[in-house]
Amino acid sequence: MEATLAHPPRDLTDDRESVKNAEMRDQERLSASGMVTLVWREENRQIRYMRSLLRNISGGGALVLAFRPLPVGSFVRIRDASLFLVSGDARVRHCTRCGFAYLIGLKFDSEMAAGF
């Protein structure tokens, strides 16, 4: 029995299409610069903390620069390290090595205030 595809495989060599898809977001991201604290629970149930640099944010998510990776799908709490203006629960959507650090994309479980 031979398997057939309903649609032919997409050719991903066209950089314009992949960039276009990468920029499709529900909400506009705003550049940000400040320290946030990420809090998560490891597999052994130990609570961990990590200070990270906030790179951008929207009502639906944030991008942080951290010095250790987090597994995709992990549940984290994020909060502003000084004023608690940024505070919420999120899931790790992606974690990409960037030199000696990691860019971690977070998607908030519920939308942040409309101010973003």
Q: Please write the tens of the pLDDT for every residue from 23-40.
A: 555 667 777 788 999 999
pLDDT at 1 over 70: no
Query: 39-82: per-residue pLDDT in tens?
Result: 999 889 999 999 999 999 888 899 999 999 999 999 999 988 77
Claim: this prediction has a pTM higher than 0.75: no
The C-alpha atoms of residue 10 and residue 7 are separated, in whole angstroms, by: 8
How many domains is the chain built from?
Answer: 1
| Contact (CB, 8 A) for 30 and 76 | no
Amino acid 104: pLDDT: 97
CATH number at residue 97: 2.40.10.220
- Please check whether residue 77 lies inside any domain of the structure: yes
- Please check whether residue 16 lies inside any domain of the structure: no
Amino acid 69: pLDDT: 96
* Domain membership of residue 69 as a residue range: 32-108
- Please check whether residue 59 lies inside any domain of the structure: yes
- Please check whether residue 23 lies inside any domain of the structure: no
In sequence order, the β-bridge partners of residue 88 are 78
The C-alpha atoms of residue 55 and residue 60 are separated, in whole angstroms, by: 14
